[in-house]
Amino acid sequence: MVLDAEDWGAIWLTFKLATLVTMLLLLIGTPIAWWLARTRSRVKSVIGAIVALPLVLPPSVLGFYLLVTMGPHGPIGYFTQWLGIGLLPFTFPGLVLGSLVYSMPFVIQPLQNAFEAIGERPLEVAATLRASPLDTFFHVALPLAKPGFITAATLGFAHTIGEFGVVLMIGGNVPKVTRVVSVQIYGHVEALEYAQAHWLAGGMLVLSFVALLLLYTFNPGKVAK
Amino acid sequence: MIGLRCHVVRSGFAMDITLDLPGRGVTALFGHSGSGKTTILRAVAGLERHANGYLEVNGAVWQDDARGLYVPTHQRALGYVFQEASLFSHLSVRGNLDFVLKRTQTKDRTLFDHVLALLGIAHLLDRRTTDLSGGERQRVAIARALLTQPAILLMDEPLAALDGKRKEEVLPYLERIHATLDIPMLYVSHSAEEVARLADHVVLLDNGKILASGPAADTLARLDLSNGLADDAGVLVEGFVNGGDEHYGLVHLQAAGGTLYVAHAALPLGTRLRLRILARDVSLALARPSDSSVLNLVQATVTAVWPANTAAHVIVKLDAGGTTLLARITRRSHDQLGLGIGKQVWAQVKAVALLSIR
C-alpha cells in the first residue's frame, strides 16, 4: 500500500466531515425544505434563491465570503469571539460550517422536490383520519418522502467529500484538522507523488460511482435534479 | 340537522349559501363541475376555510366565525371519501386501517370486523394498496373513513374515477351502508343515476347557487331548475311489490299512480323498490292505446311544459295520480296533440329502470 499515515488521516477526516455535515443538513434542511414546498409566502422565491446560490457560485467566491464573515472583523467572527471559542477559519468547526453552506442545495432541493411530489391530498386524508398536523408530518409526509431523503443524504455526502475550493479558502491545509482528501491529492500532485495521488483519486472515483449507482438502482425515478 | 352557511369569493366564482339539511339519510349535492358542490363538502370537512361561515352537524358546532370558533379538520368527527381512493401508498391495506384505529384509540375489534364485513374487504388486508383494483381501493377507503366512527360521512364523487363495471363493485356497498348504518351522508355527484339510486334528499346546485333543496323524488322531477341536465331528465318512483307474474318474469309494483310492471325475478310481497323513469322513455297519447306492446300505461294530467335541451323537443310534466312523470316529446307532437296544462293524456312508459331494492 502506497498510502501513508497522513493519507489515512485525510481519509478519516473527510468521512467524519461528510457524515457530520450530512446529518446536520438533514436536520436543518428538512424544515426548510418542508416550508419551501408548502408556503405561499412571497419570501419563498428569495429563500429558494439563497438556498440555490452555492450551486452557481464559484467555490472560491463562497470561500472568500465565508473567510471574511468568519474572520476577526466579520459578523460570525465577532459572534464566535464573544462566545469565547475564538475564530473558525482553519479549524474543523469552520470547515463544518463552510461545508453546510456549500452542500446545502444538494440536500434541501431533493427534499423540497419530494415534499412537493406528495401533494396536498395525503395530508388532507390524514387530517380527515384524525391525525394532527405534527402527526401527519412524521407518519405520512416523512415516510412518503423517503426516496427524497435517500437522494438528499447521498448527494449531500458525496458532494461534501468532493469539496475543494471552499476548504482551501477557509480551512487551508492543516493536517488532521482541515486537510481533507481532495486537498491531500492536490498536495501529492504538487509534490509529483503521482502514485499516492492515484490511489486517493481512484478511491474517490470508485466510491462516488458506487454511491450514485446504488442510488440510481434502488431509488429509480426518484432522483431529483 | 346539518346547518351550513358558506360564503366564498374566488376569482371567477362566488357563492353565498345557507343550507339546512336533514341530519340523517343520504343528502346528494348535485350539479355540474364548477357548481360549488365540492367546495361545500370541503368547507364542511374544514379542508377549505372561508370567512363568515357557520357549520353545525347534529348539535356539534364546527365553525362559527361570529364567535371566532373554528374546529380544525382532525378534530371533527367526520369521515371523508375522496374521488380517487387516496390510500397511503407507504402502508398496506391493514396499515391504512390501523392508521385510524391508532388515532381513535379503538381497542374494540368488533367495529373493525363489522366494517370489514360490511365492505367485503377482509381478504384484502395483507395486500399492498397498489395491487388493488380501483373498486377495491375505494372500498378500503370507505372502510377507513367508517372506522373513524364519524358523525357524518362526506363523499366527494367516490365513483367518478371508476368505469361502469367498477362502479358496480362499489355502489351496492354504498347502498348497504345507507341501509344498515345510521350515519348521515353528504354525497357529491354529477351523475343523475347515482343520485337517483342513493339519495333521500337532493340539493341542486348551479354556479354557486342553490336551485332546489328537498326530498329526492320532488327535486329530481323539478326539471325547470336543471335544464342543463335535461338529457338525463327523469323521475324517481317508489313503491312496493304487490304481486308478480312468474310466467312472464314480471313483478307488479304498487306506486302512487297505479300498478307498474317491472321485468324482474319474483320478489317477496311488500318489498320496497325504487324505479327511475327517464323522460325520453315516456310517450303520450290522447286516447288509451289499445294494441300497444307497451305494458305500462297510465292516465295522467299535464301540469307543465318546458323547453328541452334541443329546439325540437319539449318536456311535459305529468301528474299520474300522485306520481310525477316527465315525458320528452317533439314540439310538433305537442302542438298536434294540443297539450296544455290540465289536459288529460295517456302516458306510455317504454322502460323503467329498477334502481334499488330496500
Q: Do A144 and B90 touch (CB under 8 A)?
A: yes
pLDDT for the residue B350: 86
A20 touches chain B (CB under 8 A): no
Q: Chain B 87-116, CB below 8 Å of chain A: which residues?
A: 88-90, 99-100, 103-104
Position B314, amino acid: V
Short-list B279, B187, B291, B277, CA closest to B236: B277
Place of cell 312468474: B246
> Rounded CA gap, B124 and B147, in Å?
16
- Per-residue pLDDT tens digits for B108-159: 888 999 999 999 999 999 999 999 998 999 999 999 999 999 999 999 999 9
Task: Output the pLDDT for position B230.
Answer: 54
pTM, 2 dp:
0.79
The domains found in chain B, sorted by start residue, are 2-221 (3.40.50.300), 234-357 (2.40.50.100)
- Fold held by A5-218: MetI-like fold (1.10.3720)
B131: CB partners within 8 A, 6+ apart: none
Give the Cβ contact number of residue B265 at 10 Å.
9
Q: Per-residue pLDDT tens for A107-162?
A: 999 999 999 999 999 999 999 999 999 999 999 999 999 999 999 999 999 999 98
- Cβ-defined contact of A127 to B100 (cutoff 8 Å): no
CA–CA distance, B231 with B229 (Å, rounded to integer): 6
The residue ranges of every structural domain in chain A are 5-218
Which residues lie below 8 Å from residue B241, measured CB to CB, with a gap of 6+?
Answer: B251, B252, B253, B254, B267, B268, B269, B270, B271, B273
**How far are the Cα atoms of A115, B37, B63 from residue B60, in angstroms, in the given order?**
34, 22, 9
What is the H or E stretch that residue B21 is in? strand B13-21
Residue A128 contacts B, CB cutoff 8 Å = yes
**What value does the CA radius of gyration of chain B take, rounded to a whole number of Å?**
23
Q: Do the chains contact at B90 and A125, CB–CB below 8 Å?
A: no
Nearest to B82 among A121, A130, A146 (CB): A121
The Cα-based distances of A119 to A32, A100, B87, B290 in angstroms read: 17, 28, 13, 64
Q: Name the residue facing A129 among B72, B89, B103 (closest C-beta).
A: B103
3-state SS assignment for residue B117: helix
Residue A220: per-residue pLDDT: 62
Q: Taking CB atoms and an 8 Å cutoff, what residues of chain A touch B84?
A: 121
Q: Which of B46, B78, B86 sits opposite A125 (nearest CB)?
A: B86
- Sequence-distant (6+) residues with CB within 8 A of B193 are B232, B276, B355
Per-residue pLDDT tens digits of chain A, which is 225 residues long: 678 888 999 999 999 999 999 999 999 999 999 999 999 899 999 999 999 999 999 999 999 999 999 999 999 999 999 998 889 899 999 999 999 999 999 999 999 999 999 999 999 999 999 999 999 999 999 999 999 999 999 999 999 998 888 998 898 888 888 889 999 999 999 999 999 999 999 998 998 899 889 888 887 654 443
Q: Is the CB of A128 less than 8 angstroms away from the CB of B47?
A: yes
Closest alpha carbon to B317 in B331, B306, B309: B306
Mean pLDDT of B16-41: 90
CA distance B257 to B213: 24
Contact A125, B86 (CB under 8 A): yes
Under a CB-based contact definition with an 8 Å cutoff, are residues B127 and B93 in contact?
Answer: yes
Mean pLDDT over B270-296 rounds to 87
ipTM: 0.80
